[in-house]
Amino acid sequence: MSKLYMVGVGPGSEDYLTFKAKKIADSVEILIGSRRALELFPETSGEKIELDPKNMENGFKHAVFEVRKGKSVALLSTGDPGFSGILKPVLDMSGTVEVEVVPGISSIQLCAAKLKIPWDDVNLITLHGKGVSSGLLEVLENGKPTMILPNFSVKEIAEFLLNNGVDPRREVAICEKLSYPDERIVKTVLKDVLNENFSYMCVMVIF
Ligand SMILES: C[S@@+](CC[C@H](N)C(=O)[O-])C[C@H]1O[C@@H](n2cnc3c(N)ncnc32)[C@H](O)[C@@H]1O
């Protein structure tokens, strides 16, 4: 049956992939996703199409086009499609095609679990595609932990906050490459973030 599935595949390791995501990946005719998302499904028989990170929109359009032709397609999203993911842009262009959203474990959820933070009482922020702005300074004042997906780098956030008068000794945690064998959790203070190198794949928490 022609349908567009938006499937969350979790933070990266197969350990955090849901049974439902696997079932759908096994059943569809076409799987579209980033290389790291596709690698989670080495044994599926459907056609696999890798998303170009520089032009994701093309991949999304192709997915909708194939569903309109009668195919079943799964568009894979790392983490959960609804948090800083593919849900909004794809819904905006999917028109009348039938869509089903399959939740995945977000990097935010795994970060909260690793740091033992109840995430019903945090500030949740994504800077993806936006960059840092003064809105962040206001949010930091409400006394809750602030969980941030950086635009590209955590250093950019630390520099911005330090330049705008945030206490250099403010506690932060950086959860890098969650669920991968080289996962790293660094608990430090704001000023020391500038002295370390981190991958783009991080969740930053400011306490
Ligand atoms: C486009 S956003 C997608 C977020 C995704 N929808 C989610 O729910 O986790 C990609 C960003 O999520 C974060 N991220 C994704 N996977 C991660 C992981 N395994 N460890 C740490 N951060 C991760 C990084 O900040 C990365 O740049």
**Domain shared by 132 and 188, yes or no:** yes
Do 75 and 124 lie in a common domain?
A: no
Q: What atom in ligand 1 is closest to the CA of residue 152?
A: 27
Name the domain count of the chain.
Answer: 2
Distance from the alpha carbon of residue 94 to the mean position of ligand 1, in angstroms: 24
Mean pLDDT of the region 49-63: 93
Mean pLDDT of 63-87: 96
Shared domain check, 122 and 93: no
Domain containing residue 31: 3-102
Q: Answer yes or no: do 93 and 153 share one domain.
A: no
Which residue is listed with tokens 């949010």?
A: 139
Q: Are 156 and 145 in contact (CB under 8 A)?
A: no
150 lines ligand 1 (CB under 6 A): yes
% of the chain beyond a pLDDT of 70: 100
Q: Considering the entire predicted model, what is its pTM?
A: 0.95
Which pair of tokens denotes residue 200? 């783009």
- Residues 123-134: tens digit of each pLDDT: 999 998 888 888
- Measured distance CA(11)–CA(104) in Å, rounded: 8
